[in-house]
Amino acid sequence: MPSHSDSTSWSAVLKRLAQEAWVRDSERRWWPQYAFHYTDIRNAISILKDGKLLSRYQAEKEGKIAVSSGSTEVLAGTDLNVRDSVRLYFRPKTPTQYHAEGVHSQQSLAQSRFPDAHCPVPVFFLFDLPEILALPDSYFSDRTLASHGGYQLLKSPQELQNLPWTKIYHNQWIDWSDSESAREIVAHRNAEIIIPRELDLTSLKYIYCRSEAEKETLLSLLPSDLRLRYQNRIIASNRSELYFRHRTFIERALLDSSHIHLQFSPETRAPGPFCLRLEVTAGQTFAQEIPHFSMPPYEYTISLPHTFSRYQIRVTLDNHLVYDNTFTDTSLPF
């Protein structure tokens, strides 16, 4: 981890940015504190188990990518030195995230600009930004690195101060009638921070999930030692500053000994159809599948075949894991 003195100059620049009225008086007021990295929940489990983030190149070599949310078209145009770097953003809700976030239906994938960019259950890792910038091998850009050339890798606090922050933090509707200006804003909103090959989790401050159900899933999938280590840093948030919430996900799951009640987000613009599969394991596995599950309605209840004091539940949409948890009846006296 950088020493306090190493990160002081970076902190000063970011503090001045945070105090500017257009940042301070908006939902962006807390963005200057953090470097942002999002990935699918299954990859997040691997990251926490390994205790580090790997570059895409390294993760592919080691077979660590359970869910790939990158577009092959975009990756093909990205320099190898960038693909062999851990990549973080100065902000959430990047254009890249816009295309990938949430469970697409086959119909919405077909309509997507990047149909193979798909992050069904995104989890955000928030790192201390001054500490990340102070790392000796950390660099940043003023725009996306997802292209051959056209960008500079920058290093100094003065260069950080001179970044086009109004474009990087741009958070309004983009007017595509002026396509050149629109493309410029999109490029700057994807400005990145890169660290070669890998980044340990020393500077990790928070892990944000999109809903209570997805937080329960993350905690359920973690080994008990990691659950204990990270549980106070794992937060469920419905704040719009982090997630677009345009596609399908489970907001809440209510479990009891004889029923399972799932509440899906009513904000989805990809309501299906999906193949919904629900598996309940209590000694043996009971499964229910709905091949053409669509919304509305946004709530779904299943009655279990027996009353169970404990069971494991797993829910998928088109084979994408969207919920995992264990129910234990705490009302029993034994």
Over residues 51-108, the pLDDT tens digits come to 999 999 999 999 888 787 777 767 666 888 899 999 999 999 998 899 999 999 999 9
Percentage of residues in the chain having pLDDT higher than 70: 95
Q: How far is CA 79 from the centre of its chain?
A: 23
Q: pLDDT digits over 211-259, tens only? A: 999 999 999 999 999 999 999 999 998 766 799 999 999 999 999 999 9
Q: How far apart are CA 133 and CA 16, in angstroms?
A: 16
Residue 319 has pLDDT above 80, yes or no: yes
Tokens standing for residue 128: 């201390």
- Average pLDDT value for residue range 144-172: 90
Q: How far apart are CA 183 and CA 85, in angstroms?
A: 24
**Predicted local distance difference test score (pLDDT) of residue 64:** 86
**Predicted local distance difference test score (pLDDT) of residue 69:** 76
Residue 333 has pLDDT above 70, yes or no: no
**Predicted local distance difference test score (pLDDT) of residue 187:** 93
Q: Which of 212, 272, 267, 274 is nearest to 245 (CA)?
A: 267
Q: How far apart are CA 40 and CA 217, in angstroms?
A: 12
Residue 287 amino acid letter? A
Q: Which of 129, 158, 152 is nearest to 11 (CA)?
A: 129
> Please, what's the largest Cα pairwise distance for the chain?
68
Q: How far apart are CA 79 and CA 197, in angstroms?
A: 14
Q: Please, which residues have CB within 8 angstroms of residue 331's CB and are 6 or more apart in sequence?
A: none
Q: Please, which residues have CB within 8 angstroms of residue 183's CB and are 6 or more apart in sequence?
A: none
The half-sphere exposure of 69 on its side-chain side, counting CA atoms within 13 A, is 24
Contact 145, 78 (CB under 8 A): yes
Q: Please, which residues have CB within 8 angstroms of residue 159's CB and are 6 or more apart in sequence?
A: 140
Element (H or E) spanning 263, and its range? strand 259-264
Q: pLDDT digits over 248-273, tens only? A: 999 999 999 999 999 999 999 999 99
**C-alpha distances out from residue 239 to 1, 209, 210, Å:** 29, 10, 8
Tokens standing for residue 105: 């239906």
This prediction's pTM: 0.93
Q: How far apart are CA 274 and CA 319, in angstroms?
A: 9
Peptide bond preceding 271 in cis form (omega within 30 of 0): no
The neighbour count for residue 156, using CB atoms within 10 Å, is 13
Residue 148 has pLDDT above 90, yes or no: no
Q: How far apart are CA 163 and CA 167, in angstroms?
A: 9
The CATH classification of domain 248-328, taken from the options 3.30.10.20, 2.40.50.140, 3.40.50.300, 2.60.40.10 = 2.60.40.10
**Predicted local distance difference test score (pLDDT) of residue 5:** 45
Q: Which of 29, 25, 15 is nearest to 241 (CA)?
A: 29
Q: Would you call 289 exposed, middle or buried from its count of C-beta atoms within 10 A (0-12, 13-18, 19+)?
A: exposed
Q: pLDDT digits over 8-32, tens only? A: 899 999 999 999 999 999 999 999 9
Q: How far is CA 12 from the centre of its chain?
A: 28
Domain ranges for the chain: 4-209, 248-328
Q: How far apart are CA 67 and CA 52, in angstroms?
A: 17
